[in-house]
Amino acid sequence: MCGIVGYIGEKNCVPILINGLKRLEYRGYDSAGIGLIENGNSSIIKNKGKVSVLEETVSTLNLHAGLGIGHTRWATHGIPNEINAHPHSNEKNTLFLIHNGIIENYQTIKKGLQNLGYNFKSDTDSEVLVHLIDSFLTKDYSLSKSVQLALNEVEGTYGIAVIYQNEPDKLVVARKGSPLVVGLGEHENFIASDVSAILAYTKQVVYLDDGELAVVSKDGFTVKTISDKEIEKEIHEISISLEEIDKGGYPHFMLKEIIEQTESVRNSMRGRLLVNEGTAKLGGLADVVDRLVNSKRILISACGTSWHAALVGEYMFEQFARIPTEVEYASEFRYRNPIIEKDDTVFLISQSGETADTRAALHEAKNRGALVLGICNVVGSTIARESMAGVYIHAGPEIGVASTKAFTSQLIVLALITLLVARKKSLSTSEGKKITDELQKLPDKISEILKLNDQIEQIANEFKDSKNFLYLGRGYNFPVALEGALKLKEISYIHAEGYPAAEMKHGPIALIDENMPVVFIAPKDSTYEKIVSNIEEVKARGGRIIAIADDADGEIDSLVDYVIKIPRTIEMLSPVLNSIPLQLLAYHIAVIKGLNVDQPRNLAKSVTVE
């Protein structure tokens, strides 16, 4: 899992590979390496740790090559070390391979190869694949044919790039379940797992689909299926700019992306709100809207932060569209033989559009005849292409591993879909206009919240040494409690739990003492009086209370130790605003602790393996 980049052409590929790997660092990794072939010579340089260590090593070697591949690894099989890092090679050091994914039957293949005399250096499943390809090369098959034959024996997922000293005019790539793109240039071509790695060199790309293999030369490419059927591929123009994936003067991508929410929320709504009609227009759903409106049930499948957004969506769909809605962990969805009917609609939410478990849920729902709709951020991603229809959230590139602006944009899109469906059912124009009016006001209200950054940093300094946190919310803001706790866990490594506030008495209250910070999401909505009661219970037990409250709330100040007051909005949209102070709180605690907020340990931005 993690990052792939490759080059074939007339330039020295070494700086291109290193720069590409730097662009992929945000995805999370534990080791890095490059493999080069030039004039009958081949070399691999790899190490445990950061790309900067690799760059320093490479800078002392005066390397030059027109063909090369690079990789950042996030460990699945085998510990993070230099031996397990990619690229992997055959025993002659003439064949190099990098691999994202998991080869599920690698042990069986490995035994067969050992019986043929192959020796293994690493603990990875990926090394098995390079030796398997080599076993076909020894039978005088070409590189592309050897890759094809090897992949037909493989079970699992892969995004691979392979180069061979005896065929230095080509770079072979293939994918199944792990993203790959081919970037097109003049007398040079590129490959990558993420367009960010090659955006500095080209904006024209071809997306590979599952079961496809591409042979890339400096002057062109061909694509065929693993079963040997040739395919014509469409060339896409990348719309994002290099500036969008830079820090822009901020110390961290995460802070930049929190600040960008004023614009990302606006962009998620741009051109979609019909304010005078009190509804929304979503071109991506135009062909399926009648089927969506008449759905007997909605299921939403997602992972992590996207799952929390889905929970808010459940409240929205049921309150306004009056359609029974269920939220499923994508990682559990297909393993429990779910009941899915042809008049169900299944939404898949994924920032990257590549999440392995969410893609698997998509296939399960599609196979059972449901209407399958994607909610993604990355244009051209697999879920976006494989869904029957869908909506892009238009949050812009999100580089920080801990999702911030994608979460709030997902909430906006779920609100727009709810508005569209509800207005086509029974929601009145006047009620619809209340929602559209409040949606329009959100960017300005987010700007007001961001002005509280210094106050939130001071609160963070008070709690930087805490070992545990409890986050409590009700109704629409219970998922916000979950998301706030997740943000803190992800980047500060402080144990935190989110609960419905009423559930506190069913167990978590036993944990509360003077050392336990408790964060309450307490807007003046339909649950306010109940939340105040819960605050009193925590206060009586000595808990230290931080509240997120409405700026007009004058009574909560005396009940809590710290209060962050933010602009009020309608109940269904309150999660958009309430989540932002929690993002800033987590961010500042992690920064004060001296942690890498953009690349938290053990985490990857896009989880492309199960």
Region 268-278 average pLDDT = 95
Q: What percent of the chain has pLDDT over 90?
A: 70
Closest CA relative to residue 419, chosen from 403, 439, 402? 439
Distance from the Cα of residue 248 to its chain's centroid: 21
Q: Are 160 and 193 in contact (CB under 8 A)?
A: no
pLDDT for the residue numbered 419: 98
pLDDT for the residue numbered 85: 85
Residues 164-177 have pLDDT tens digits of 999 999 999 999 98
- Map out the domains of the chain with their CATH numbers: 2-238 (3.60.20.10), 248-447 (3.40.50.10490), 451-598 (3.40.50.10490)
Distance CA 314, CA 293 (A): 15
Q: Is 176 a catalytic residue?
A: no
| Least confident span in 373-382, 564-573, 583-592 | 373-382
Residues 96-134 have pLDDT tens digits of 999 988 888 989 999 999 999 999 998 888 899 999 999
Phi, psi of 87 (to 5 degrees): -75, 160
Q: Say what the pTM is.
A: 0.82
pLDDT for the residue numbered 86: 83
Phi, psi of 89 (to 5 degrees): -135, 165
pLDDT for the residue numbered 99: 92
Region 196-210 average pLDDT = 92
pLDDT for the residue numbered 564: 97
Cis-peptide, bond into residue 479, ω within 30° of zero: no
Q: Are 608 and 157 in contact (CB under 8 A)?
A: yes
Pick the catalytic residue: 46, 256, 489, 605? Answer: 605
Assigned token pair, 477: 């803001």
**pLDDT at 609 > cutoff 60:** no
pLDDT for the residue numbered 607: 63
Sheet holding 171-176, edge to edge: 88-89, 95-100, 158-164, 171-176, 212-217, 220-225, 230-231
Distance CA 182, CA 195 (A): 9
Q: Is 2 a catalytic residue?
A: yes
pLDDT for the residue numbered 28: 66
**pLDDT at 606 > cutoff 70:** no
Residues 516-548 have pLDDT tens digits of 899 999 999 888 888 998 898 888 888 899 999
604 pLDDT band, cuts 50/70/90, is: low
The amino acid at residue 475 is G
Q: What is the mean pLDDT of the chain?
A: 92
Residues 377-416 have pLDDT tens digits of 988 888 999 999 999 999 998 888 899 999 999 999 999 9
Q: Which residues contact 19 (CB under 8 A, 6 or more apart)?
A: 200
Region 65-69 average pLDDT = 96
CA distances 589 to 229, 313, 468, 605, Å, are 54, 29, 13, 21
Pick the catalytic residue: 2, 13, 303, 376? Answer: 2
